[in-house]
Amino acid sequence: MTIEWRYTIEENLGILSVAGFLGPDAAPRFTGAVGWVLARGTGPVIVDLSELRSWSGEGQLAIANAARQLTAAGRSLELAAIPADGSLVPPGDHPPIPVHADLATARAAHSALRHDEQEEGRHEWRTAGWTAGADHDA
């Protein structure tokens, strides 16, 4: 099983939405998505996990590695809506990873822009199989 992802750039941040199971088989695909994010955006990145069914230790380590990569590029990583099991990315030598209850809370922490201004600056890319939430976060 793998993941599907969608990356959206808004005015002042990027949102990487991930759906499926982030385990050992999906970690390389997640790492590729982070590479895409690094090449196409600026500012903080919120990883929206509201459509993620679960994650393994390897998946959590992939997120910790993403935090390192983004920090090295002058960006930060935050999580929104971690999986229901309540586990968090393990402590380690990665930068702090703020966790928000949901995507709306994460956005509110970053944006004072009106909704229509956000839509004008919005760009989106996704994997071919992305079907999760069909604009649940718009």
Does residue 136 lie in a domain region?
no
pLDDT at 136: 47
pLDDT per residue as tens digits for the range 20-74: 999 999 999 999 999 999 998 889 999 999 999 999 989 999 999 999 999 999 9
Tell me the H-state helices in 47-128.
57-72, 103-110, 115-120
pTM over 0.75: yes
List beta partners, residue 54. 21
Does residue 120 lie in a domain region?
yes
Does residue 131 lie in a domain region?
no
How confident is residue 2, by pLDDT bands cut at 50, 70 and 90? confident
Please state the domain count of the chain: 1
Domain containing residue 64: 3-126
SS3 107: helix
Does residue 133 lie in a domain region?
no
DSSP letter assigned to residue 19: E
| 23, 64, 137 from 61: Cα distances, Å | 10, 5, 26
Does residue 41 lie in a domain region?
yes
Does residue 132 lie in a domain region?
no
**For range 115-122, the mean pLDDT:** 48
The label of the residue with tokens 């229509």 reads 116
CATH code, domain carrying 25: 3.30.750.24
